[in-house]
Chains A and B, each alone.
Chain A
Amino acid sequence: MGEVMYPVTEPGEGAAGKTGNWRWQKPIIIIDKCVKCGLCWVYCPEPAIYLDKMGYPHVNYEWCKGCGICAHECPSKAIEMVSEYE
């Protein structure tokens, strides 16, 4: 008998390959303005934002698609979207 195959996927990094090169603009975190609320980390759909031990966010540019949700959600305007082509 053939083994049963299930339509399931295990969690893992990037089944479709690295997505960083899909980006035309990238988020730059301005640490001076950051209040460490963590909302960018919560909202990032990838997730391509991680928090360091101090609670400051950092972007993993290998996976960040540049959607800009983090910049939109940031209450202290500490994330700026910058064009990849400038």
Chain B
Amino acid sequence: MTYKVEIRWHGRGGHGLVSTSNLLCEMVVRKGYYAQSIPIFGAERRGAPTQVFTRISDSPIRKRSEIKNPDIVIVTDPSLFNIIDPLHGLVDKGIVIVNANESTEISSENNFKIIKVNAVEISLESGLTVGGIPVVTIPLMGALLKILGIVDLKTVEEVIRERWRPEIAERNIKALKMASEVVEIG
């Protein structure tokens, strides 16, 4: 059985999409998977809408074109729904992980599974901020990791601890754990 997942990240310049997607690749590669993280560069700057693509597979990945029909879409800012359509091309029964609180309404006519993660709250609670601004991509990745279910917590912690000094690493791990508790698999 082949395993292939295509993920499209929608966010804004400065959210750390590229770093987070790369981090995810590092985790899955350590579990023996192949992965690819493609940033889309253009005139994007801090605050402008940006996209990053992640491909995960159990066989080598040859193609490097943009992901048009993702299995999973991640949206780091619900206001993006007002200016673009982050769900375009999402596969039938595709998954949407969005940074939003319970009351935020995200309407979709399709049968997508929408998972709301209050990433701002989780980041603030974990002390995961850069210059006072919450890092929202890490909690969203926590939810994603839970859904993917291919990386064990030990590996996640290992990669995080290699990347950051202990104090910062613990904040990242806390945020990841809190986010994964929000997600119910079923």
Q: Taking the complex as a whole, does A directly touch B, i.e. does some CB pair lie under 8 Å apart?
A: no
Listed in ascending order, the chain A residues whose CB lies under 8 Å from chain B are: none
